Amino acid sequence: MAKSPHPNRVFKAPEDLLEAWEGYKAWLLGEAQKWLKVQYVGKNGSRKTDAQKVPMTMEGFERYCVDNHGNVEQYFKNQDGYYDEFIPICSRIKKEIREDQIVGGLLGFYNPSITARLNGLVDKQDVTNHSDKIEVDLSVLPTDLLDKLIEANREKDNSTK
C-alpha cells in the first residue's frame, strides 16, 4: 500500500510532472539555437546555419526541473514509496529519453557510440586466444624460407640482449 503523499511535494499530481516534461522538451528546442552547425553551400559557398537536435537526457530534465520547479530526483527513485502514483509517468519519461537517444544515434543526429554506451547497448566480441601455444607444421615450408625465419629469429634474439 502506498504511503500518504510526501508533505513537501514539488508536483502534487502525475499530470504536473508530465507538464514539466513537456516544458523540458519545448525548452530543448530553444537550446538547439545555442548549437548551430555552420555549412557553406552552393558554388559561391553561401554560409548557412542549422540548429542541431539537442538530445534528451535524464540529467538535463532534472536540471531543468531544479531551475524551474524543484528537485525531481525523488520522484524517479521513489525510495520510501511516497511517489507510487508517479511510477507510470516516470517510466514513460525514462523510455522516451532512451528512445530519443537510440533513434538519434541510429539516424546520425547523435554519436552512436556514446548513445550506445549511455543506454548499455554494447557489441561484445571475444577476440582472445584461449591457447597458450599456436602449433604450426613447419615441414610444409620450403627450406630457404625456414632458413630466413631462423635467421630473423636469431637477429631478433640478439637485438634484445
Alpha-carbon distance of 101 to 121, in angstroms, equals 11
Q: How far apart are CA 152 and CA 147, in angstroms?
A: 9
Judged against a pLDDT cut of 70, whether residue 36 lies above it is answered with yes
* pLDDT average, residue stretch 83-94: 95
User: Model confidence at 8, in pLDDT bands (50, 70, 90)?
Assistant: confident
Q: What is the pTM of this model?
A: 0.66
Instruction: Give 98-152 pLDDT, tens digit per residue.
Output: 999 988 888 888 888 888 888 777 766 666 666 667 677 777 777 887 788 788 8
Whether residue 1 is predicted with pLDDT greater than 80 in this model: the reply is no
C-alpha cell at 83: 511517489
Please choose, from the candidates 132, 55, 61, 137, the residue with its C-alpha nearest in 3D space to the C-alpha of residue 93: 61
Grid cell digits, residue 81? 514509496
